[in-house]
Amino acid sequence: MASVHEEIFLEEKEKSEGDLKTFMRLWGYIKKYKLLLFLTFLTLAIATIIELALPIFIRYGIDDVINVKYSFNMVPGNEMQFVEQENGAYNLEKRDNNYYMVNSQTGERMQVSGEQYSQYFDTAIRKIQVFSLIFISILMGQFLLNYGQVFFANVVGQKVIFHLRKDLFNHILKLNYTFFEKNPPGKVTTRVVNDTQNLSDFFSDVVTSLLKDIAIITGVIILMMVLDFQLSLYTMSMFPIIVVSIVIFRHFDRKAYDMVRTRISALNSYLAENLSGSNVTRLFNQEERKKNEFDYMATKVYRANIQQMYVFAIFRPLMSLLQYFTISILLWFGSLLFTDGQTTFGTIYAFTSYIDMFFRPLFDLAEKYDIMQNAFASAGKVFKIFDQEQEDFGKKKHISIQEGKVEFQNVKFSYDGNTEILKGVNFKINPNERVAIVGETGSGKTTIIKLISGLYKYQSGKILLDDKELYEYDLNELRKKIAVVPQDVFLFSGTILDNMRLFNQDIPDEEVKKVAKSVYADEIISRLPQNYYTVITERGGTLSSGERQLVALTRAVLFNSKVIILDEATANVDVETEYLIQQALNKISERSTIISIAHRLSTVKSSNRIIVVHKGLVVEEGSHEELINNQGIYYDLYRLQFESS
Alpha-carbon span 359 to 254, nearest angstrom:
21
- Average pLDDT (83-111) is 64
Q: Give the other-Cβ count within 10 Å of 302's Cβ.
A: 11
Residue 613 and residue 619 in contact, taking contact as beta carbons nearer than 8 Å: yes
Mean pLDDT over 130-147 rounds to 88
Q: What is the pTM of this model?
A: 0.69
Check: CB of residue 264 under 8 Å from CB of residue 301: yes
The confidence band for 339, taking pLDDT boundaries of 50, 70 and 90, is confident
Position 246 scores a pLDDT of 84
Straight-line distance from the first to the last Cα atom of the chain, in angstroms, rounded to the nearest whole number:
47
pLDDT band at 571 (very low <50, low <70, confident <90, very high): low
593 or 273: which carries more pLDDT confidence?
A: 593
Please tell me the predicted confidence (pLDDT) of residue 72. Answer: 52
Percent above pLDDT 90 for the chain:
15
DSSP 300-344: HHHHHHHHHHHHHHHHHHHHHHHHHHHHHHHHHHHHHHHHTTSS-
Q: What pLDDT does residue 426 have? A: 94
Per-residue pLDDT at 177: 81
State the pLDDT confidence band at 17, using cuts at 50, 70 and 90.
low
Euclidean distance between CA atoms 36 and 30, whole angstroms: 10
- CA geometry: angle at 393 spanning 390 and 397, to 5°? 125
Q: How many CB atoms lie under 10 A from the CB of residue 317?
A: 9
Q: Is 247 exposed, middle or buried (0-12, 13-18, 19+ CB in 10 A)?
A: exposed
Bigger pLDDT: 91 vs 450: 450
**Distance from C-alpha of 187 to C-alpha of 56, rounded to nearest angstrom:** 53
Q: Can you give the pLDDT at residue 422?
A: 92
Which stretches of 415-543 are assigned E, i.e. beta strand? 420-429, 434-439, 460-465, 468-469, 482-485, 494-495, 535-536
pLDDT at 533 over 60: yes
pLDDT reading at 608 higher than 50:
yes
Residue 471 has pLDDT above 90, yes or no: no
For 105, list phi and psi in degrees, rounded to 5.
Answer: -100, -40
pLDDT, tens digit, 9 for 90 and up, residues 345-361: 888 888 998 998 898 88
| Higher pLDDT, residue 67 or 484 | 484
| Residue 253 one-letter amino acid | D
Give dist(CA 218, CA 211) in Å, integer: 11
User: What residue ranges define each of the domains in the chain, with the CATH number in brackets?
Assistant: 4-31+153-386 (1.20.1560.10), 68-125 (no CATH), 406-644 (3.40.50.300)
Lowest mean pLDDT among 100-104, 381-385, 450-454: 100-104
- Mean pLDDT for the stretch of residues 530-550: 80
How does residue 263 score in pLDDT terms, banded at 50, 70 and 90? Answer: confident
Q: Is the pLDDT of residue 412 over 90?
A: yes
CA distance linking residue 466 with residue 501, whole number of Å: 26
Which pLDDT score is estimated for 166? 92
Give the pLDDT of residue 613: 92
Alpha carbon 119 to its chain centroid, in Å, reads 67
What pLDDT score was predicted for residue 572? Answer: 65
Mean pLDDT calculated for residue range 70-94: 52
More confident position, 573 or 42: 42
Phi, psi of 73, deg, nearest 5: -120, 145
pLDDT confidence tier of residue 71, bands split at 50, 70 and 90: low
Q: What is the pLDDT of residue 126?
A: 78
For residue 335, pLDDT beyond 60: yes
